[in-house]
Copies of this chain bind each other. A is one copy, B any other.
């Protein structure tokens, strides 16, 4: 375990020890947004560090990428650059002699504003948790819950990049078209079935050219890092619109991501074998299989959802945990998602984002969205303070948390991914 002269980075409970060093973009309010790294309860100004000459031993391209106000240029340089930067910062933050000239580059996390860390060109969402897909499918097709292709390919679709939001941005309840139970014609009204989805997002580092698929043996080199992602969903809008082209307005009003990008280097000690398929399950097609994926395709990442209602906040009550799941239980690994995504020649660019879909576990405690927990709005979730929820209400605050933990390893945390639901307001037409 490494020790830093930033004392808050040496505690057991911190998300951000010297072994993590996730990247983000922050502003102090006075200056323009710039790239930083989380260390304990501080954020290190990487642009300032570069300008102070602390990265003069690094590749000039790395230093140049730190002048930007988003991570895309750094991501495009690939894993070697990321590894080089990380090693240098670890060296500096471990060296007591560096404290003297570095303390001016550290800000309290509580005193800065985190921004969208990346300009996301394209955002893709998968459906990789078989526990989620099975529970949801069972509501519609009890005898045959999984789509026919489920065990052959990681099902995915394109989401909206423009409405990706940094943690903390308010979520306005969307208006939309949906059909109330028992009615023939649809209405247009604020959604009555607002949900969250517990997901993990992966950012692309080095891209691939159009028409050039990425082989499994090369896939790892194209991953840059990960974040938490809340794929807010309006279930009534979604179920009215989704045939035959998939989710659209039921999803694209807002998607929240956690502000820190945890690098693949930090996740390294928590890589685990891909799930082994049971007897009788179809074999993975050759281009989606491979030694690399079998040996370390999975990630042992614990995930949690917490809810704090307006009433809880008023009464000073703490948030309530709604679920706990682990990323290693996905049916498809991030490497398989990436290889599948490019298998037709689709090009991924630096900063592109793909998410896992709702991460749910096998047990009832691992249901990653209200759709699963309340059985599509039919079985109320009882909260300890006596409140009930079928779906999210205005004022509800949803927080996702994630961390890697293992015997003999420092905790690698993701920080929080937070959103508070705001009222729908008046639709402009009707003003």
CB distance from A88 to the nearest CB of B (A): 32
CB of A282 within 8 A of CB of B252, answer: no
Bound CA–CA A352/B252 (angstroms): 14
User: B157, A285: Cβ atoms under 8 Å?
Assistant: no
A276 CB to nearest B CB, Å: 20
Counting CB contacts under 8 A, is A344 at the interface?
yes
> By the criterion CB–CB under 8 Å, are A177 and B153 in contact?
yes
Which of B152, B155, B285, B347 is in CB contact (< 8 Å) with A163?
Answer: B347
A320 CB to closest chain B CB, in angstroms?
A: 27
Contact B252 A158 (CB under 8 A): yes
* Chain A contacts to B: CB under 8 angstroms: 121-122, 125, 127, 147-149, 152-153, 155-163, 165, 172, 174-177, 185-186, 188, 210-218, 234, 237, 240-250, 252-254, 282, 285-287, 290, 340-341, 343-349, 352, 425, 427-430
Chain B residues within an 8 Å CB radius of A218: 428
A343 CB contacts on chain B under 8 angstroms? 175-177, 188, 249, 427
Q: How far is the CB of A154 from chain B (nearest CB, A)?
A: 10
Ordered by A's residue number, 17 sampled pairs between the chains whose C-beta atoms are within 8 Å are A122-B161, A122-B162, A148-B240, A152-B185, A156-B248, A158-B160, A158-B248, A163-B346, A175-B344, A212-B428, A213-B428, A242-B244, A242-B246, A249-B346, A286-B430, A287-B429, A290-B429
Given contacts A162-B121, A186-B149, contact A172 B248 (CB under 8 A): no
A127, A155, A217, A245 pick with most chain B CB within 10 angstroms? A245
Cα distance, A160 to B285, chains bound together (Å): 25
Residues of B contacting A149 with CB < 8 Å? 177, 186, 240-241, 243
CB distance from A270 to the nearest CB of B (A): 27
A253 near B345 with CB under 8 A, answer yes
Query: CB-CB < 8 A to A155: which residues of B?
Result: 241, 244-245, 248
Q: Give complex CA distance A163, B247 in Å.
A: 21
Residues A213 and B175 in contact in the complex (CB < 8 Å), given A240-B149, A344-B249: yes
User: Whole-angstrom distance from the CB of A123 to the nearest CB of chain B?
Assistant: 8
Q: Which of A122, A186, A290 has the most CB of B within 10 A?
A: A122
A153: B residues at CB distance < 8 A: 177, 186, 240-241
A286: chain B residues within 8 A (beta carbon): 188, 429-430
Whole-angstrom CA separation of A214 from B211 in the bound complex: 37
Are A160 and B427 in touch, CB under 8 angstroms? no
Say whether, besides A153-B241, A246-B247, A253 and B352 are in contact (CB < 8 Å).
no
Minimum CB distance partner of A141 in chain B: B244
Contacts of A244 in B (CB 8 A): 147, 155, 242, 246
**A285 and B174 in contact (CB under 8 A), knowing A121-B162, A148-B243, A246-B157?**
no
Contacts of A349 in B (CB 8 A): 162
Min distance, Cβ A180 to any Cβ of chain B, angstroms: 13
In the complex, what's the smallest C-beta–C-beta distance from A355 to chain B, in angstroms? Answer: 12
| A430 CA to B286 CA, complexed, in Å | 9
A247 to B156, CA, bound (A): 9
Asked if B210 and A163 sit within 8 Å, CB to CB, the answer is yes
**Residue in contact with A428 in the complex, picked from B122, B215, B237, CB distance below 8 Å:** B215
Point out which of A163, A211, A286 has the most chain B C-beta atoms below 10 A from its C-beta. A211
B127 x A245 contact (CB < 8 A): yes
Distance, CA A401 to CA B148, complexed state (A): 39
Q: A243-B149, A345-B175 are in contact. Are A340 and B249 (CB under 8 A)?
A: yes
Q: In the bound complex, do residue A346 and residue B252 qualify as a contact, i.e. CB atoms below 8 Å apart?
A: yes
Contacts of A425 in B (CB 8 A): 211
CB-defined contacts of A341 to chain B, threshold 8 Å: 249
A246–B245 contact, CB under 8 A?
Answer: yes
In the complex, which of the residues B159, B215, B340, B430 contacts A429, with contact meaning CB atoms closer than 8 Å?
B215
Residues of B within 8 A of A213 (CB): 175, 427-428
Considering the chains assembled together, what is the distance between the CA atoms of A297 and B105 in angstroms? 56
A174–B428 contact, CB under 8 A?
Answer: no
Interchain CA distance A152-B241 in the complex, whole Å: 10
Find out whether the CB atom of A245 lies under 8 angstroms from the CB atom of B157: yes
Chain B neighbourhood of A157, CB < 8 A: 157-158, 245-248
